[in-house]
Amino acid sequence: MLVFLPDSLDEAFAAFEQCPDAQLLAGGTDFMVEVNYAHRRPPAVVCLSKVEQLRGWRRDGTDVVLGAGITHSEIEAPPLCELLPGLAQAARTVGSPQIRNAGTLGGNIATASPAGDTLPVLSVLDATIVVASRHDRRSLRLDELIVDPKHTSLRPGEIIVEVRLPASFGAQEFLKVGTRNAMVIAVASTALVVDWEGRSVRCALGSVGPVVIRATEAEQFIASKINWPEGSLPDAGAISQFTRLVRAAARPIDDHRSTADYRRHAVGICAARALERVLSGEAGVKTEWAS
């Protein structure tokens, strides 16, 4: 196994040209497990940890542009947790402090796990994911990039470089169910955002299908029931129907972590609770946790 340690994206692209079968290494929290257990022995590894261009973030008008190498710890801390409360909430549920200090947003996307915690949030915020190769640069939506479990539409030599999201957009929540709070892979998760200006609700489900699922029928139904000028839900019974539609949208499986039945049950509860929290103004990362 060869190891490349590029200082810049250009050097990373050059390493790819030298070794087209090289594996990209971001935080290592998934890849190194496979190496340690001898499940993977790629001919070469291109480490992205020293590529400064991937590390930071910036404001661009009403957007936040995150470098793909930003860590979950950086997302869950101020000021990003204030600009991106739903993503911060998802980042906070990843692994442990050790994992969040190492794992990156770009790595979470590229790994393309059905249980990737940040992915439902990227879906509801209509994230634009920018990927670059030596000679090209293109922008993709999450559902264009992640096509199947563990499979992306990244072309040979392409690297995820940044993720563009709207700052302080609407009201956001992310909720996740697992067997404990720390070090847990989601059994079911939900990201929900209410766009007060556009009068729409977006709800994405994680860990209950091969890729993130948008519960579009549930979104449209509940948007039609919200009293938008007041920001209230006069018909309390609408939440039950919303929950049913969310459950109908899920396509879960039985596996070693849970059953399809439980996942369907849990994702409905997550979505209903996220909706209630968002409408009551209680959603998002609490500041005492964010420090």
Residues that bind another protein (CB under 8 A): 1-3, 5, 25, 27-29, 32-33, 35-37, 41, 45, 47, 49-50, 73, 95-99, 101-102, 181-183, 288-289, 291
- Cβ proximity to another protein: between 38 and 236 the closer is 38
- Cβ proximity to another protein: between 74 and 219 the closer is 74
Q: Which residues of 42-65 are buried (b: 16+ CB within 10 A; e: fewer)?
A: bebbbbbeebebbbebeeeeeebb
Provide, rounded to whole angstroms, the least separation between the CB of residue 64 and another protein: 22
Alpha-carbon separation of residue 62 from 97, 164, 169, 210, 260 (angstroms) = 30, 10, 9, 32, 39
Say how far apart CA 146 and CA 181 lie, in whole Å.
Answer: 26
- Cβ proximity to another protein: between 31 and 242 the closer is 31
- Cβ proximity to another protein: between 55 and 251 the closer is 55
Say how far apart CA 218 and CA 46 lie, in whole Å.
Answer: 42
Provide, rounded to whole angstroms, the least separation between the CB of residue 67 and another protein: 16
- Cβ proximity to another protein: between 101 and 200 the closer is 101
**Are the C-beta atoms of residues 189 and 206 closer than 8 Å to each other?**
yes
- Cβ proximity to another protein: between 49 and 200 the closer is 49
Provide, rounded to whole angstroms, the least separation between the CB of residue 246 and another protein: 29
CA neighbor of 249 nearest in space, from 276, 280, 222, 229: 222
Provide, rounded to whole angstroms, the least separation between the CB of residue 65 and another protein: 23
| Secondary structure (3-state) at 77 | coil
Provide, rounded to whole angstroms, the least separation between the CB of residue 35 and another protein: 5
| Residue 99: Cβ-neighbour burial (10 angstroms; 0-12, 13-18, 19+) | middle
Provide, rounded to whole angstroms, the least separation between the CB of residue 57 and another protein: 17
